[in-house]
Amino acid sequence: MGLREAKKQETRQLISDCATRLFIEQGFEQTTIAEIAAAARVAKKTVTNYFARKEDLALDHHEVFTQGLARAVAEREPGEEPLTALGRAFRTALLEHDPVVGFTGPAFARMVADSPTLAARLRELHDRREEALAAALTAAIATPATDASGTADPDGPATADPAIAPRAAAALICAADRLLFRRIQELTLAGRTDDQIEATLIPEADHLRALLGAALGHPFTAAPS
């Protein structure tokens, strides 16, 4: 990264940090762009150049969030079923207490819960996450599955699956994903620590994945071992 790009990233982070602090202190709806600009010591135009929407100042990891499930499918290991890759990715994020899956801390979680605007934006981002996953699943089942050596899997995706199958799978997977996200937020607001939330979510996530596996079957999940 060059010096110019590094400076831009630094300014963006500064604006985001100032905005988050003000949103938590004052509430999202009550905080203005002018106040954020003043706190960051930049012009209002600079704020809007970096963040097209006020909501993006609070939910500034939205691109990582919307593309996360799709990326897990697209970058899965050779021969790995999509649902297996998604389960592995979620387990990793859970153990790392990743904000993208809901570990935001109580102050931030309360700020989002108290804002109708942010709640609506979060629903929109979940919808975009589902659309991206549907596209990734469509691509996944359109390509014959291979094993680790690159050999075609004789039990690969069936061509008789209806065209709506990837979208239906994405809808079910994302419904579970939303539920887990809400659970983390609920437990955060209830005063649980991140470690306590992790311990609670591991068996719950495993249960949901088993339900999804039974509902979806091949080619979205591997057969039980």
Cα distance between residue 10 and residue 90, in whole Å: 29
Question: In the prediction, which pLDDT does 116 show?
Answer: 95
Cα distance between residue 81 and residue 187, in whole Å: 31
Tens of pLDDT, residue by residue over 104-136, are 999 999 999 999 999 999 999 999 999 999 999
Span of 141-145, 168-172, 186-190, 212-216 with lowest mean pLDDT: 141-145
Tens of pLDDT, residue by residue over 55-110, are 999 998 888 999 999 999 999 999 899 999 999 999 999 999 999 999 999 999 99
Q: What SS3 state is found at 17?
A: helix
Could you confirm whether domain 62-216 is CATH 3.40.1350? Answer: no
Q: What SS3 state is found at 9?
A: helix
Name the pTM for this structure: 0.84
Name residues whose C-beta falls within 8 Å of residue 147's C-beta, 6 or more positions apart in sequence: 78, 79, 153
**Bridge partners of 152?**
146
Tens of pLDDT, residue by residue over 160-202, are 567 899 999 999 999 999 999 999 999 999 999 999 999 999 9
Cα distance between residue 5 and residue 159, in whole Å: 47
Superfamily of domain 3-58: Homeodomain-like (1.10.10.60)
Contacts 24+ apart (CB under 8 A), 190-196: 191/106, 194/97, 194/103
Element (H, E) at 12: helix 3-26
